[in-house]
Structure 1
Amino acid sequence: MTTEPIQPKTCKQLLETFYANPRKMNVEKLVFSGVGNRDVYNITAPFRYGGEEVLLGRVEERDSEFSQVFFFTCNNQVWSPRIHTHTYNLQDPCTTIIKGELIVGGVEVITSAKNPDKIVSWVTQFYRGFQIDSLCHFSSGPGTMKDIRLIELTDGRVGVFTRPQGARGGRGQIGFTIIDSLDDLNEQTFIAAEVLRNQFVPEEWGGANEAHLLSNGHVGVLGHIACFDRSDHKHYYSMVFSINPGTCEITPIKIIATRSDFPRGPGKRPDLVDVIFSGGLIRLGNGRAVLSVGVSDAEAYHIEIPDPFIEYE
């Protein structure tokens, strides 16, 4: 763990390091059925709950950002909507387990009162329950804040990652705080979280997408780092870092996957072609890990890569 102040590196600098270290990988495109002609992307990592393997995915028309989140189960390598399961009018799902309870989050879009087709803001919503079929809403993030993530820490408390923008966060920084329990999760918690400094240069931004409790009690963070090019096209890359929750010391960001790792395919818009969105990661225990990603806001993939968290333990 570094004790010197971290100097943020640009996406370009991080990519130079990434491409200088080739790694063995296996790529699999996920196949979905039962959703009509809609795209499924920005998936969570698969997880076992109630005796079955499930994942959540963002489901929407190619020309729309009004999406639903479905629970999917897999049969013969095809993922289909879980039978008789509630869907949520949300974007970009996330999951975690806290004290045995399933926590599901997602982004609700807010539309204009005068024009219901125009999105004017968004709010992260959280649901909890011990069964997929009995999740109850219990908390909402502040307006315009995405990428809020939760994790149960070694001492039973809850780590909270936030994504402030504007005066405190520019285009998007990562914040962190600790609360005693989920009962303390409220808007003030999100707003008051300490911003992790020197992670991104001012022109770029990032966010946490999933948190992993490491064997030493630190937290491995899977996230994204992003930038614009001169044509205002977005470029999103999967990245990781670790944080000591007791001191908030962090390691430098490193990129672990890029759009070029995946086959060419459709994109939602021309400005989103070079975008991958980290949805979740499964550590295999053999030095390898499987990363779940949304690609170009149109497809979903799994990619097996070297376990990016080993060096932090």
Structure 2
Amino acid sequence: MKNVYLHEDGKAVTIIDQTKLPTVTEYLTLGTAKDLYDAIFELKVRGAPAIGICAAFGMYVLAGTIETGDYDEFLKKFREYKDYLNSSRPTAVNLSWALNRMEQVVTSHSDASVPEILGYLKKECMDIQEEDSQMCRAISEYGLSLIKDGDGILTHCNAGPLATSRYGTALGPLFLGKEQGMNFHVFADETRPLLQGARLTSYELDQAGIDVTLICDNMASIVMKNGWIQACFVGCDRIAANGDAANKIGTSGVAILAKHYGIPFYVLGPSSTIDLDCATGDDIQIELRSPEEIKSKFYEKPMAPEGVKCYNPAFDVTDHTLIAGIVTEKGICRPPYTESLANMFGKNKK
């Protein structure tokens, strides 16, 4: 299914509302800056690559609403929209990456007319989606080389087609392997508090006919101890220059457990998630979200005292020393990541 796409008339972006899955498949039409902001902030569109694609499409849509033929006025309003969307979610670098690419199109065509600039913007946002599709395929191929038929794989959060444009990142090797006749048994963490693993990952894998078992987050240790896991595959929202990786809250705990049980832990993501300007994970801004996501969301009635304090970070950072490899569309980076990431992505990174 298409999870993010641009209307043929270029006046809106359509997304699947991921907050309604798996029980309801509902498409939303986003035509204003507030629509786009809310969809990203409220996780109606989520997954770092999908957020970037949505934002790129959104900037093209919003650019088309700017009523001026003057370049300077156009650029000023374009940057206002860009800054507004960029403030919706601070951790996933794909958001700012895609927005910066769209802005670069405008600034590099300062001698063009506004209608011409709109044409360039449309091509750029379509290119971003197509590139992600190609990157996911390549990531899937490299990731598949790390596992064998019959392996048990543990994953956390959701990094499948719903989070990207095709195949996914962490789940991509499993879908590709299934196409080639391979079989895996996947253990999907439910991923508290927003249940992306339960609602989305188990849904995607089940739909594809891949053997999947849903577990609570605090069950990861026992399935590892039982010898049922041969590798851990997770996605990422930002990778620092030293290999520290930000992903959905709970990921670092999985990595620590995997280290204890001698299980390789792999991070899979496109080059758009790699931020070589970010030295370490300590420099990654972690998004804090509403206490109600812990206390009452998905419950018929609140499951905690009304006045209790909550700490609800959306992400944590997995230390590079816990990561066996970072799988990208260009290949698999190995420690030391300060060298392998720089060698692979230090030059000509679009």
TM-score range, shorter chain: under 0.3
Higher relative contact order (CA 8 A, sep 6+): 1
More strand by share: 1
Return the index of the structure with the highest Cα Rg.
2
Question: TM-score, normalised to structure 1's length?
Answer: 0.28
